[in-house]
Amino acid sequence: MSENLLQKVMAESDQPINLCYQCKKCSVGCPMIDEFDFPPNMVMRMIQLGMKDELLKSKAIWMCVSCETCGSRCPNEIRIAPIMDSLRAQCLNEGVTPADPVTVALHSSFINSIKTFGRIHEATMLMAYKWKSKNFTSDLDVGLKLFLKGKIPLLPKKSKNMAKIKEIFKEAGK
């Protein structure tokens, strides 16, 4: 139980979570709801009630793909996507084991590529992701198919001002 969770997530996401009155419109339209352990409307209520441990350990926070369907339909104009961002960051910052480590492995590999080149280099990013997720077989064909279509360049392209890029990462603590 955490009394400050509601205030913290509201401040970080800039969303009026306290206005949620459980109409469930978010959950009805959510394309990912079958993968969520707690539907979006319940996530809102859990934040109001300060159920921090359950939320940070949940699969729901990692399964949200930020499609913004819920946010654009909410009668109280609450966008859930930035709320999920706040919960995910808290999960990582507080050393909670993420319920979906594969998603975290993908995003970590992705931002490491930006940290190195300022841009994405798909070939090395995909290899780093496969290594991190220890998932060498599933879906390897997507990368291979794209490569065969000439859509995965071998050489990376770099941003010019890499010093500034490094500074952005340092300030974000990444």
Stretch that binds other proteins, among 16-24, 40-48, 51-59, 74-82 (CB under 8 A): 74-82
Give least dist CB 140 to other proteins, A: 10
Q: Which of 6, 8, 12, 49 binds other proteins (CB under 8 A)?
A: 12
Helix axes 80-93, 5-13, angle to 10 degrees: 120
Q: What is the size of the binding site for other proteins (CB under 8 A)?
A: 60
Give CA–CA dist 31/18, Å, rounded: 24
Amino acid in the structure at residue 39: P
Nearest one of 111, 104, 127, 105 to 165, comparing CA atoms? 111
Amino acid in the structure at residue 125: M
Q: Which of 23, 119, 127, 131 binds other proteins (CB under 8 A)?
A: 119
Half-sphere exposure of 173 (CA within 13 A, CB side): 3
Q: Examine residue 35 and tell whether it contacts other proteins (CB under 8 A).
A: yes
Nearest one of 56, 59, 55, 71 to 16, comparing CA atoms? 71
Binding site for other proteins (CB under 8 A): 12, 14, 31-32, 35, 65-69, 71-72, 77, 79, 82, 85-86, 88-89, 92, 100, 102-104, 106-108, 110-111, 113-114, 118-120, 122, 126, 129, 138-139, 142, 145-146, 149-153, 157, 159-161, 164-165, 167-169, 171-174
